Amino acid sequence: MANAVTSHPVIAALLAIVVTLLGRFVQKGYKVRKAVHGAPGPPHSWIWGHLLVMNELMTSGEVPIKVHPHVTPLAFRQKYKLGPYFYLDFWPFGPVMLCCADPELGAQFTTLHSTRKHPEVVTTMQTIAGPGDLVSTSGSHWRKWRSVFNPGFAAQHLMSLVPGIVDDCKVFAEVLTALAEAGKPFRMEEYATRLTIDVIGKVVLNMRFDTQTGSNPMVNALRDQIFWIPNDTAMDPFKPYYPRGIYHRWQNSRTINNYLGEVLDKRFQEILHEKSADESTSSKERKRAIIDLAVESYDKEADSKTHQTTRLSSDFRRNAITQIRVFLFAGHDTTSAAICYALYYLSKDPSALSKIRHEHDAVLGPVEQTEEALKRDPYLISKLPYTTAVIKEVLRLNPAASSIRAADSQTHLTDPKTGEPLIMVPDMMLWLLHWSMHRDPEIWGPTVNTFNPDRFLPENAATLPEAYWRPFERGTRNCIGQDLAMIESRVALALVVRQFKFTAAFDAVNQMAGDGTMYGKDPKYREGRQELLGDEAYPVLVGTAKPREGMPMRVKLAA
């Protein structure tokens, strides 16, 4: 055997490469296992790390099979009586993770030393939006494009856009009326998402996508793109490389970019026309859309006059398309889910429903006058403290995501109580767990899993653990669209909670399985345990965190 190898140099070289790579693999594995073994966390195996305990958790029925991953650390913490931070080791199928539910520790790697976003976040966001997005990028590129879009997302400017948001929410109410007349169960998330996309089209581009009343190729591609995000690689490490998924992601991205590019070019020509038609008023008119302010801000940043040319600069156009894709995606993540969960929880809590309806009666007047009242005085939504509390409680119970960073050579973390240095592993994922912080009974009390908007009323502000409520994250890397999400959610509730009566329709999920939506494509979503913490509307991973089965509901006109 030895003579055969030595007589064939190519075989010998290949064998040497294999042995070397295998040796490095074993050496790295030993270093990882040695670092994590004995550290805070679930029972750890020298051979399997935490893969076995994860498999046990997911197959034992303790949590639903398709529950969103940000739920599992809290399940581990409660099962094994762990502290506010601990380690999970899924090498080589996933990164070593520091799971953190302590805002003081989290501040060490998000604020005091703002670490870069983890490569898994970068990969996911590039699939969704393309390179250079505001979620996963950092450094000078992030600062530049954040400053370009900041003026358009300022709260004062967004309030001027409320009349347009009201128009889109009116269409939403009309769609719900048709669903009520049809009398069939439907997936609320599908319709809430189309609402958020129409709102984003209006406030960002001053364009009507009209996705609520018809099919839109860009929206269809966006929904399909989310379905094909390869973000379940811990269970299937080869998922990003399946040819079918690669093709779908490429084709969807091409469709979205072409559509948004044409819309962006059209809006830019309208800006030029407005400016040339009436120089004295065009600036005021152009500030009606976020993209108009972004163009002006970009001109200042780049020290050029984009609006004096007949075409957008290639740099602005490319990056604007990327960021608009981020805004559309964020609508899936936060606003559409918040609307779904708000209607769900209110339907199960007659007292809360009565309170929010009474508030709307007192502030907005009769139902039929709500639209006109909000258009006449958009700041009325700032006079709805209980409505705001409902949305904040919804976001506490069901945050859209968490903050995921990556450790680097400059990352040195310490225990907030003892000051002892924490174990660091190269490229370790630093996972700031919003779900765990929002569901911590030591922080929120024994009613932690109960829908209770009263916690967020102004009179209870002194007792509110603000550092533990972070659906939009905090600090400089907070969500740029958080004010828009809160405004849109309040307007949507103002236009529908008094008009309609909603009930959950989880009894009809099998009936809706063949409806062609992304929820109906995978039967695993309907297998095994179908509740979490006593709630059947738990978050699932469909590219992002979404209500199970798209929040199936029935709707009737309110009496």
Binding site, annotated residues: 479
Amino acid at 215: S
Distances in Å between the Cα of 125 and the Cα atoms of 120, 255, 291, 519 are 9, 17, 21, 21
Cα dihedral 469→475→481→482 (10° resolution): 30
E strands, 386-487, in order: 403-406, 429-432
The DSSP bridge partners found for residue 98 are: 87, 430
Which ranges of 242-380 does DSSP label H, i.e. alpha helix? 243-277, 279-286, 290-302, 314-330, 336-348, 350-364, 370-376
Compute the distance between CA of residue 511 and CA of residue 204 in angstroms, rounded to an integer: 37
Tokens of 109: 């790697």
3-class secondary structure, 405: strand
Q: Distance (Å, rounded) from C-alpha 198 to C-alpha 166?
A: 11
Report whether 465 contacts 443 (CB < 8 A). yes
The kind and range of the H/E element at 496 are: helix 482-496
* Calpha distance 208→167 (Å, rounded): 11
Collect all residues with Cβ–Cβ distance below 8 Å to 307 and sequence separation of at least 6.
Answer: 271, 272, 275, 295, 296, 299
Q: Tell me how far apart the alpha carbons of residues 323 and 359 are, in angstroms, rounded to a whole number.
A: 36
Q: Nearest to residue 439, comparing CAs of 471, 415, 472?
A: 471
Tokens of 293: 């302010």
d(Cα 107, Cα 413) in Å, to the nearest integer? 10
Return d(Cα 264, Cα 320) in angstroms, integer.
8
Nearest alpha-carbon partner for 173 in 497, 559, 552: 497
CB 22, CB 14: distance < 8 Å: no
- What does the block give as tokens for 12? 């010998």
Which whole-number Å values give the CA distances from 288 to 203, 258, 413, 442, in the listed order? Answer: 8, 24, 45, 45
As a whole number of angstroms, the distance between CA 235 and CA 522 comes to: 16
- Residue 219 vs residues 125, 128, 167: alpha-carbon distances, Å: 17, 13, 20
Known binding-site positions for heme: 479
In DSSP notation, 139-192 reads: HHHHHHHHHHHTGGG-HHHHHTTHHHHHHHHHHHHHHHHHHHHHT--EEHHHHH
First CA to last CA across the chain, in angstroms?
87
